[in-house]
A = this chain, B = another copy of it.
Amino acid sequence: MVVGCGFGGLTAAKALAKLPVQLTLIDRRNHHLFQPLLYQVATAGLSPADIAMPIRAVFRGRRNVRVLLGEVTGIDTSSRTVQMGDHRVTYDILVVATGARHAYFGHDEWEPFAPGLKQIEDALDIRRRILMALERAEASDDAEERRRLLTFAIVGAGPTGVELAGAIAELAKVALAMDFRSIDPREARVLLIEAGERVLPAFPPSVSDCAHAALTALGVEVMTRTAVTGCSADGVSIAARFIPAATVLWAAGVMASRASVWLNAAHDRAGRVHVQVDLTLPDHPEIFVIGDTASVAGADGRPLPGLAPVAKQQGAYVASAVRARLGGGTIGPFVYRNLGSLATIGRGRAVADFGWLRLHGSIAWLLWGLVHIAFLIGFRNRIVVLLDWLWSYVTFKRGARLITGPTGGATPDSPSL
């Protein structure tokens, strides 16, 4: 049984489905989400269906795979049972790949004012906030309020924060530049606030420098060594200063799913379960924990980062381990192969780091586009995304600029979001 259908769970499930086993797949959503492009849904570049694939459709031809939609509420390791409310499902081998959520470092009260970006609903909420801030600014007669509405603060300068900041700057300064009459969206301020020393702290310093320069060229104000001390409906506090901002987005950290609680297992500060070198739980060779939910040491002794390639390699490893067991054998410990990192900064710029090769500018961006198109699941999604990108590259427009859901409206008396 595989619980969770992110990159880790899906990779494991696709490989396990080819073995002579009965496979049950549980997820609380009906789709696998291509999270690396979620920021493009949040900034009106892509539609949700472009980056999501129904899990049932992936396994439609596999009669040995059963897909259950539902929320896991507990795991009983002694009876080998997964609980989903009143419903119980038993397993022989369990793969836990339930991912992570954004975390507020003990300040969960900031969440309503500074949403994070993990699911489709998050992306649609952020898209609504960004577009509604511009609409309200257009309708406002108050210069100070207009300035607040046109200020976008992104907290955290990892890949998600950098990509969001670049995409918002581009949306306001290029795509929407001609669409308003009372305001000039090019006056929008986009702040990228990072507590650490530099943007993209997981990349080498030279890559960070390139990204920093590209962001600045796009008009993003990068603030490093700046810790956020508060978020409210009015803006964001950094040390003694308060910055009025209608839109504050959170990209500063994640917390693993509740798997460590379900499994009653040892975990690190981010809630990630400590697993053995074969990704199993101590004393439970039948339970694998992978992806953002697991804490696994890399070659340098530090825990591996929460990235798609790590989860996918772990998923593939689990399937290999199960295949070996079916044949009565075993395989060696899991070893992560770093195939490089990529991040994009707006239209036509990106940074890439392969260890032996570092790229930036257009060539890294082209590579970034090719890699993401290639990894997108489902033939249709690839073509639609490619077409959307070409279209917006040529026309400078965004195709998915819809405000849906509860908006209120842009009149001055409308309720705040």
Contacts and interface: CB of A to CB of B under 8 A. Distances in A.
Contacts of A195: none
A402 B52 contact: yes
A60 B49 CA distance: 27
A135 B404 contact: no
Contacts of A54: 179, 401-402
B30 A131 contact: yes
Among A28, A131, A178, A404, max chain B CB count under 10 A is at A404
Given A48-B47, A178-B61, A413-B86, A31 B70 contact: no
B139 A69 contact: yes
17 contacts: A31-B403, A47-B47, A47-B49, A48-B404, A49-B400, A49-B401, A56-B176, A57-B401, A60-B178, A70-B414, A85-B413, A86-B411, A87-B413, A121-B405, A379-B391, A384-B387, A387-B387
A105 to B, nearest CB: 27
Question: How big is chain A's contact interface, by range?
Answer: 35 or more
A404 B85 contact: no
Contacts of A292: none
A410 interface: yes
A102 B315 CA distance: 49
A49 B50 CA distance: 11
Contact of A69 (B31, B135, B400): B135
A414 B388 CA distance: 37
A-B complex: 9 closest residue pairs judged by Cβ atoms: A47-B47, A49-B400, A56-B179, A69-B410, A85-B411, A85-B413, A70-B411, A54-B401, A70-B409
Given A31-B403, A387-B384, A411-B87, A70 B121 contact: no
A53 to B, nearest CB: 9
A182 to B, nearest CB: 8
Interface in A67-86: 67-71, 84-86
